[in-house]
A and B are shown apart, each in its own frame.
Chain A
Amino acid sequence: MIANAADALSDVHPRVEDGLATPSRIRRHQRFGIVVGAIFTPILFAAMWPVTFDSREELFEIPKGTWARRMAGEKREILPSEIHLLVGVHNVLMLKNSDDVPQIFGPTLLMPGQSLRLPFTRPSENYFACTAHASGQLVIVVEAAPTWPWSRLSWRVRRMLRWLSKP
């Protein structure tokens, strides 16, 4: 009878006997849950949150006085040699010359105060002859907007890597 009662007790509270529900175990599980959550929540967020920008335009501007500063020997890159855009979301290259003299800017010559608005509507790699770069080329990489979780995640990772590799 006594043996039966003990068996019954172990059936009702088997974890107590295994020690699985001790306060230290619970705390360990909580810590594990927090770590897993801290890792996967940003990943989930990066995969699920839509890619948005404040503007569809990627603006590069030659500030006033750039020519004078260049003549004085200052070297300053305004346009990166590679620009990444996204179809339908952030797909317009905007070049503006706010200097006092005409400037070759990317693929064209811009007069003082003039701007060029260049939209891209298809995924493509575009090469423009550009004397401002050592390679002589400006590359504009246009990607399809990432609309699925995996593509969003990979796009965000690539963007972060590009940002980290900037000098």
Chain B
Amino acid sequence: MKKTLLVGALVLPLAVVGTYFALRGTTRAEQGLRCGTFEPPREAPSFSLDGSDGKKLSSRDHLGKVVILEFGFTFCQNVCPATLARLTEVHKKLGSAARDVQLIFVTVDPGRDSPERLREHLAAFNPSFLGATGTPDELAVVRKAYGVVAKQVVSKNPALGYEVDHSSSIYLIDRQGKIRGLVPFGTPADDIVHDLELLLKEPT
């Protein structure tokens, strides 16, 4: 009896510990794009807005490039500048491949974001970034087509008057003009670079 207890006392903890280490959770790396992926990918809705370069900006102008589409506003105090700073970092990390990537920043605040204001704001991050604005109705149509929500709210900062609560994810559009990825706010620059490099390898 004593022997059985002794053996049990030794074997049971060993079995528990052995099972624990044998089945300890294993993690697997993600394959393919690291951001959100659409299946099947759909055509990016086309739009024609006023570009920050003074020209008409059409989404179709950049077929052949990978487009990063961001919705935001220049008076934003946190999400938009953080995303633009990250995309500036991404742009640098891409090196020469960045010439085949175009960022388009569509404003959700047409009342304050003129083409000139957009140009000045974006140039502070990267001169190649393009801004787009239009009438409130035109922009509402674009937002609806992409499933982006935006709502004016009273700002905690009285000097700003109002802010715009809006979707913070960015879209990745491939060279053929299809929406391929949804990148949530806060995604590390290396993950975005990884996905852009994969999209850049695909044929035009």
Residues of A within 8 A of B (CB): 44, 48-52, 87-89, 93, 104, 107-111, 113-119, 121-122, 124, 126-131, 136, 145-147, 149
Contact = CB atoms under 8 A, between A and B. Distances in A.
Contact of B36 (A44, A87, A116, A124): A116
Interface in B115-174: 145-147, 149, 151, 165-169
A119 B34 contact: yes
A121 B191 contact: yes
Contacts of A136: 149, 151, 165
Contacts of B36: 93, 107-108, 116-119
A116 B30 CA distance: 15
Contacts of A124: 186
Interface residues of B, number: 34
B8 interface: no
Contacts of B169: 107-108, 128
A93 to B, nearest CB: 8
Contacts of A147: 24-25
B166 A88 contact: no
Contacts of A145: 25, 27
Given A88-B28, A104-B149, A117-B37, 12 more contacts: A48-B19, A52-B25, A88-B26, A108-B182, A109-B145, A113-B40, A114-B39, A118-B35, A118-B37, A119-B36, A126-B185, A147-B25
B16 interface: yes
Interface in B4-62: 16, 19-20, 23-28, 30, 34-40, 42
Nearest to B16: A48
Contacts of B25: 50-52, 88-89, 145-147
A85 B191 CA distance: 19
Nearest to A93: B36
A104 B27 contact: no
Contacts of B28: 88
Nearest to B166: A129
B39 A115 contact: yes
19 contacts: A44-B16, A48-B16, A50-B24, A50-B25, A52-B25, A88-B28, A109-B145, A115-B39, A118-B36, A121-B34, A124-B186, A126-B186, A128-B167, A128-B184, A129-B149, A129-B165, A136-B151, A146-B25, A149-B20
Nearest to A89: B25
A44 B186 CA distance: 37
Contact of A50 (B23, B30, B40, B145): B23
